Structure 1
Amino acid sequence: MVIDGIDVREDGASGDRIAELLVRSADGDQNAFAELYDAMSSRVFGLICRVLVDRAQSEEVLQEVFLEVWQSAAKFAPKKGQGRSWILTIAHRRAVDRVRSAQASTDRDVRAGFRDMDVAHDGVAEEVELKIEGRRVTGALAALPEAQREALTLAYFGGYSQSEIAALVGAPLGTIKTRMRDGLSRLRLELGVTT
């Protein structure tokens, strides 16, 4: 099958099966969307869980991601990238948005004096430190060039190997290794980490 000039085969051996399912979903094919969900939901959920940690919130965000995928599947352009990467990018954005929203809510409550400032358990302090560090890392990632950010996001949040990333984004393995190395170097600089 050819979609937008790209060969997308049913067996997934050559082409992008996820892209085909996205295109069919954009045409309102509910069976294609169900297949897309089955193929991607566990990987998307894993990515979201790594960002949010909280399982209940991760489940909510998973639903939001696939609702957005269904509603905006027509915006996917097979010529511009892999379907899997497109969905994982939506998932990562949604998860980061949820973290930012939760932090903004906490910040508002603190400014308004509604939070109990008595820290009764060290676990709370640890959780706050992790959230602050997570925000710093998210901010540092946002400062990276798109290609480096995509490679690092797919590796660390998506769980993909360098070879898998190369196949997903359609770039040579050496290019992916370079993007990741350069991206990690820039992250260290952004975060003020010295080795």
Structure 2
Amino acid sequence: MRDIGYLYFLASVLLTLVCLVVLAVQAARRRGQALRRVVVVLVGWWAVYACVLLGVGLSSRPTQMRPGDLKCYDEWCATVSGVHGQSEKSVVLVRVENHGRRAQRPDTPQLFVKRGDRWEEVEAPGLRDRVPGKSSAELHISVDGSVQDVLVTEGGGPAPWVVGEEKSPFHAKAYWHVGD
């Protein structure tokens, strides 16, 4: 679904650009009726897009992953191996992998832990670091308190507006359950 969502988003952006060019031409020619038709098409397209984005996002269900399950964003993957020390201080074990041939770093990665009903972002040293091609890095991330669930996200740019993309504010997330 994610790839189709990006294609739908790209088609929407291209349609918008074409419509803006047509609008400029029709405005220069002073053709009011043609202008209105193009505006109706553009508004209609984005209204359908918004409905699809909301519908897909709100109908999605959270995915509970097991420690060790990989969650990939293109060639960059992450997994939570486990948690040590479930009291006042915990250490979350995260492994990041680069499946690409060249060194790369993730685009705005974030780590969250669940506290009650809320997800709280945790400072994760090393999560934004460059990983050599075809290799992995082990991270030991210190967290205050006990940890039951861990969420790693990645991606910036248009991701929140792409149908089916986890970074959308309307879409459910895939997380690791690490507590008892």
Query: TM-score scaled by structure 1?
Result: 0.23
Structure with max Cα Rg: 2
User: By percentage of residues, which structure has more helix?
Assistant: 1
Query: TM-score scaled by structure 2?
Result: 0.24
User: By percentage of residues, which structure has more strand?
Assistant: 2
Bigger relative contact order, structure 1 or 2, given CA contacts below 8 A and separation 6+? 2
